[in-house]
Chains A and B, each alone.
Chain A
Amino acid sequence: MMNNSLVMYDEDYRKLLAIIQRLVQDATAKGVFLVDTNGQMVADAGEMEGIDTTSLASLTAGNIAASSGLAKIIGEEEFPTHFHQGQRDNLFITLVANRIILVVVFDERSSLGLVRLRVKKAGVQVAQIFEEIRKKAEQEQASGGGSPFSEITDDDIDNLFSE
């Protein structure tokens, strides 16, 4: 079934966080975000306080979805990287393993060349973690269980709407 959830455990999350925190430093970036292609924020790192990460995730996913649609129209498989240049801040966006989007925000303290180089390495590592997550999900499915939702009752669900 298509409808498998993306399930992320604490240890995977920590590994991903470590990778993007290192990327912030290595690329002298202001912020790095990992976004699911369906628009969910997975992890963020850096100094960008007060930024609306939920909106960022949804728009990034929309952006990637639209440009991969465009790619197909002109006979390309995908446009795996995107660069948006601003007055002060720039965005570098990469699609990793067709599953997860790596977003880097940087300013004049860094450069496109450096960001591109560092993202390449980090992207490989992120892809590995997601491969592990996928394997775990398969095992879970085979053994049938583990989800916090197997236990919930109708009352639990109704209570959510009781106010």
Chain B
Amino acid sequence: MSFINYSAREINCKIVYYGPGLCGKTTNLQFIYNRTNPEVKGKMISLATETERTLFFDFLPLALGEIRGFKTRFHLYTVPGQVFYDASRKLILKGVDGVVFVADSQVERMEANMESLDNLRVNLAEQGYDLDKIPFVMQYNKRDVPNAAPLDELRKLLNPTDSIPDFEACATKGTGVFETLKSSAKMILKDLRSMSR
């Protein structure tokens, strides 16, 4: 649910980073926050536990520039990945314009990836969204770990029909982080265009 404000000549869109616990959602936002100019970003808010697990959400507002005289702003949110925070995840998905799924490349996290992806589909459907119809991007994170599953395998499980853009990433170093974000932002803007035609 984007917000187009003719008075302020602004458009606001919401991107949600989804994925299993510890897959690196918060790390994505932290890297984006650390690497953008102060005039582009707002404050990053993290509602987290003492052990730095996301408790409710992380929030990072970004101003990407202007399109035809309209400032385009993206509000990035992460959900808490731990299974028992499902009620909170549902709340964060409200009004989403695009989803980035952050998968954990570690072999032993494959089941958690699949479970989280199913959970995303169900929670979106509950709000009337179809995962196959909204702007959706896949990120295979933690490509640097020694026990990373081969890319083919991840694809087969998480993007079997090769229908969505996907990116390899190492969020701690920042590899693939901006590529993922840009891809999602572009899909959202194109989606807005097609809806207004």
Contacts and interface: CB of A to CB of B under 8 A. Distances in A.
Given A52-B43, A66-B56, A156-B68, A3 B196 contact: no
Given A66-B88, A69-B87, A52 B42 contact: yes
A126 to B, nearest CB: 16
A21 to B, nearest CB: 15
Interface in A5-24: 5-10, 12-14
B91 A150 contact: no
B3 A38 contact: yes
Nearest to A68: B91
A40 B14 CA distance: 9
Given A5-B2, A40-B75, A149-B192, A161 B94 contact: no
Contacts of B68: 148, 151-152, 156
Contacts of A40: 3, 12, 75
Interface residues on A, range: 35 or more
Given A2-B127, A160-B67, A55 B4 contact: no
Given A5-B1, A54-B61, A62-B57, A39 B75 contact: yes
A50 to B, nearest CB: 12
A3 B190 CA distance: 13
Contacts of A160: 64-67, 72, 185, 189
A36 B10 CA distance: 15
Contact of A157 (B134, B186, B195): B186
B97 interface: yes
A2 B196 CA distance: 14
Nearest to A43: B7
A157 B14 CA distance: 17
A38 B7 contact: no
Contacts of A147: 4, 192, 195-196
B172 to A, nearest CB: 23
A57 B128 CA distance: 24
A12 B6 CA distance: 10
Interface of B: 1-8, 11-12, 14, 42-43, 45, 47, 56-57, 59, 61, 64-70, 72, 75, 87-88, 90-91, 94-95, 97, 127-129, 134, 182, 185-186, 189-193, 195-197
Given A147-B192, A150-B196, 16 more contacts: A2-B128, A3-B134, A5-B192, A7-B6, A10-B7, A14-B7, A37-B95, A38-B14, A52-B42, A59-B59, A62-B57, A66-B88, A146-B196, A149-B196, A150-B197, A161-B64
27 contacts: A2-B128, A3-B134, A5-B192, A7-B6, A13-B6, A37-B94, A37-B95, A38-B1, A38-B14, A38-B95, A39-B95, A40-B75, A55-B45, A58-B61, A58-B75, A62-B47, A65-B91, A65-B94, A66-B91, A145-B197, A147-B195, A148-B4, A149-B189, A149-B196, A150-B196, A160-B64, A160-B189
